[in-house]
Structure 1
Amino acid sequence: MDLPRILVTGGTGFLGSEVVKRLIETNKFEVTAIDINPPSLGTEISSDVRYVRANILSPAELHKVFAEARPSIVVHTAGLVPAGHARYHQKGKEAVFQVNVEGTRNVIEASKECGAKGLIFTSSVTVLVDELGKDFVNVNEEWPTGRASLVYGQSKTAAENLVLGANSPDFSTCSLRLAPIFGPNDSIIPQLHSLIPTSSFILGSGDNLTDFIYLSNAADAHVLAVQNLLNSATAADQAIFVTNGEPITARDFCIAVWKEFGHVPSRAIRIPVGVAWWMGLSAEAFSWLTGKDVGFSRGLISDGVVERYMSIAKARRILRYSPSVSLPDAIRISCAKLESRKRPKNEEIL
């Protein structure tokens, strides 16, 4: 019996490669992974996966690949995320919208043209939380979007609207709104590790809760969504928040990471939000005058002092999602991977 065919865009990326891995591990699917980049060195490559280089900004390339792959379900993880200081500025907006919105439009059209039964979109909690300066406490999918002030959240909102707007009796779509993803070879853990020299400083009260999701849990949610659309399709036309379900203060998350590297801050120096805001403004002025990115801004402060966590009741109910890797275990695994990367290549492990 032929297995259902799944096509994953961004299939060699951080999340996409993990989704591909999880799909193969079920032994229930044939998988095609497309990406603008080939698998990176160190990426686990499966002989059971067909890897194809294709650009989601090229309708012609997509049409050719999709026609050959003939997927039943498309998992669209490809996207562009503004990194670091760029998150808080309009610079690069055109490129972000081109990839995240127009690229998604192209993927939808290619999916429908090849006769796919459905599409799963990797969205983000930023469709809500990129409205800076506002608390989001245990929010659910009933909260309205469209108020994001940052480019990434705006682009993800526009793309999500395209995806859900394409839902029909013949083409089921759903959107998974993921919390910030961390895991082996991520960017979050190295960034937090680099803060160890300034670990005594706390912005504001430090007790604001936030959400994360471990890489494999995020991939599991995508596999569950694939299975849902192929069977009951109760996830069709739905946006669904997916996190680790373990809100944690930003301070406690940092300390948990630092402990894995043998560091515990010996003191705590609190910086009032108002003072931090002026420090951020000064840093932005310095950056503007010198052309150097100092990595500190009012946007970063606004991000770091508010509550941001979501209910995953809908994910549990519709997808039967339950995080398999707890937050403490996820932090330990991720930090161990970074530690192994830092170790000299000629150092033996006894």
Structure 2
Amino acid sequence: MGSLCGGDGSVRPEKWCAVTGARGFMARHLVAALLRSGEWLVRFTDLAPVVMLGPGDDEALLADALRDGRAVYASVDVRNLDQLIEAFEGVDVVFHTAAADHTKNNLQLHYEVNVEGTKNVVEACMTCKVKRLIHTSSTGVVFDGDHGLLDVNESLPYPEKFPDAYAQTKAEAEKLVMKANGINGLLTCCIRPGSIFGHGDMIMPFLDQCGKTHFILGDGKNFDDFVYVENVVHGHICADKTLSTMDGAKTSGGKAYFITNMEPMNMWDFLYMLHEELGYKRLFKIRIPLLVLKPICYLVEWSYKILQQYGVCQHQLLTPTKIKYITHNRTFNCNRAAKELGYTPIVTIKDGLKLAAKSYIRWKNNIEEKIMIVT
């Protein structure tokens, strides 16, 4: 691997990679891992005109990299092909993580960002002679919302219908990426992460708001495949390293891979454990049967649509569609990723829970200290 000398006399890599949607949850961890590896200069993109850094070790790492030129930020909308071409110039590999907000079930928005945006990413990669494209997909691309999934592998076809716009358009995007493999020298691979958790997710703030109350929806017997965020990052890097070899390119080019912690467990037990790691002991459990919950959710959804028209609320916490995700079995077999990508989780569920809770608590305390100083 070639290298360049930095202004401080240090040796730095000369290879560039790009990360789209880089200020998203998983992508922040991916950017940090790429910088820590010492193998890459990182061009990271997102919608904001300038990058705003928050507290945390990864943000400090990124700030240092921006100062010494190991990282460069570019404001890019994946719906704008020209912006993508400019961002990908001179790049060897693109990690495409940008996607529309999955909490907003807006088919037009999801199609523009997830499908048309991915089409632009593929075209920009080909225009700029990018060697490899690693696309962040979703396990949702094989879920129909009505039938549970237990230990399914990548041979499972796409369903005839999808539970929401996000899953539908992510499936379409995945098809585009896999079809592009081998065209104009571009090698592609899709990563389908399980339910991601870690610092920066949406799970911990919600559990924190619940306090000592632990809600269980449905019969409480469904299993899920959770995956610590650093394992998802590891899966992406494994995919890139695999495609960079001749044999790996033949084996994995144009394929999709499930990436989980390989520790499927009862969903509500997982949330209970995370709740306890946040410091809430002796939790009070409340079980809500689906027969009671579904009518309430339809009413809430109807009210939300009215309020949204007036700009009163931006996000809906629970919908009938979300209930389908959290009350069905959803577990996925990672044998193909292990065999072909060399993927094995680097952080266990137990350790991931401790790390996630510890990071969240530290972040929360930092925010509270800043508020106290301001007031």
Q: TM-score, normalised by structure 2?
A: 0.83
Q: Percent identity?
A: 30
Q: Is residue 172 of structure 1 aligned with residue 187 of structure 2?
A: yes
Q: Is residue 191 of structure 1 aligned with residue 202 of structure 2?
A: no
User: 1:150, CA displacement in angstroms?
Assistant: 0.6
Structure 2: distance between partners of 1:261 and 1:54: 36
Q: Is residue 345 of structure 1 aligned with residue 369 of structure 2?
A: yes
1:21 is matched with 32
User: 1:308, CA displacement in angstroms?
Assistant: 0.6
2:99 is matched with 79
Structure 2: distance between partners of 1:24 and 1:338: 22
Gaps spanning 5+ residues in structure 2: where? Answer: 3-13
Structure 1: distance between partners of 2:75 and 2:265: 39
SS in 2 for 1:185: coil
**Equivalent residue for 1:248, pick from 265, 273, 282:** 265
Q: String of CA shifts for 1:262-317, please: whole Å, max 9, x gaps.
A: 32455544333223223333433554566676634322332221101111111111
- Which stretch shifts more, 72-81 or 32-41? 32-41
SS in 1 for 2:252: coil
Structure 1: distance between partners of 2:267 and 2:76: 38
Matched AA of 1:53: S
Q: Given the superposition, is the C-alpha separation of residues 71 and 297 from structure 1 closer, same or farther in structure 2, using an over 3 Å criterion? A: closer
1:40 is matched with 52
Q: Is the 8 A contact 1:136 1:307 kept in 2?
A: yes
Structure 2: distance between partners of 1:30 and 1:262: 39
* 1:147-158 alignment runs, 5 A limit: 147-158=161-172
Q: Given the superposition, is the C-alpha separation of residues 111 and 209 from structure 1 closer, same or farther in structure 2, using an over 3 Å criterion? A: same
Q: Is the 8 A contact 2:43 2:87 kept in 1?
A: no
Structure 2: distance between partners of 1:19 and 1:25: 10
* 1:112-131 alignment runs, 5 A limit: 112-129=126-143, 131=144
Matched AA of 2:124: A
**Equivalent residue for 1:6, pick from 17, 38, 48:** 17
Q: How large is the Cα RMSD of the aligned pairs?
A: 2.3
Structure 1: distance between partners of 2:298 and 2:45: 42
- Which stretch shifts more, 139-148 or 255-264? 255-264
Q: Is residue 104 of structure 1 aligned with residue 127 of structure 2?
A: no
Q: String of CA shifts for 1:169-188, please: whole Å, max 9, x gaps.
A: 62211100111222112222
Q: String of CA shifts for 1:167-208, please: whole Å, max 9, x gaps.
A: 116221110011122211222211222233542x42222121
1:142 is matched with 155
- Which stretch shifts more, 245-254 or 28-37? 28-37
SS in 2 for 1:34: strand
* 1:269-284 alignment runs, 5 A limit: 269-284=286-301
Q: Is the 8 A contact 1:202 1:268 kept in 2?
A: yes
Q: Given the superposition, is the C-alpha separation of residues 40 and 314 from structure 1 closer, same or farther in structure 2, using an over 3 Å criterion? A: farther
SS in 1 for 2:369: coil
Q: Is residue 295 of structure 1 aligned with residue 306 of structure 2?
A: no
Structure 2: distance between partners of 1:136 and 1:300: 16
Matched AA of 1:143: L
Q: Given the superposition, is the C-alpha separation of residues 115 and 264 from structure 1 closer, same or farther in structure 2, using an over 3 Å criterion? A: same
Q: Is residue 328 of structure 1 aligned with residue 366 of structure 2?
A: no
Matched AA of 2:296: M
Q: Is the 8 A contact 1:133 1:303 kept in 2?
A: no
Q: Is the 8 A contact 1:210 1:309 kept in 2?
A: yes
Matched AA of 1:186: D
SS in 1 for 2:130: coil
User: 1:323, CA displacement in angstroms?
Assistant: 0.9
Q: Is the 8 A contact 2:158 2:171 kept in 1?
A: yes
Structure 1: distance between partners of 2:304 and 2:101: 22
User: 1:240, CA displacement in angstroms?
Assistant: 0.4
Q: String of CA shifts for 1:65-91, please: whole Å, max 9, x gaps.
A: 223xx12221111111222xx3xx4xx
SS in 1 for 2:345: coil
User: 1:116, CA displacement in angstroms?
Assistant: 1.4
Q: Is residue 204 of structure 1 aligned with residue 218 of structure 2?
A: yes
1:235 is matched with 252
- Which stretch shifts more, 153-162 or 324-333? 324-333
User: 1:8, CA displacement in angstroms?
Assistant: 1.6
Structure 1: distance between partners of 2:353 and 2:86: 41
User: 1:210, CA displacement in angstroms?
Assistant: 0.7
Q: Is the 8 A contact 2:18 2:87 kept in 1?
A: no
SS in 2 for 1:184: coil
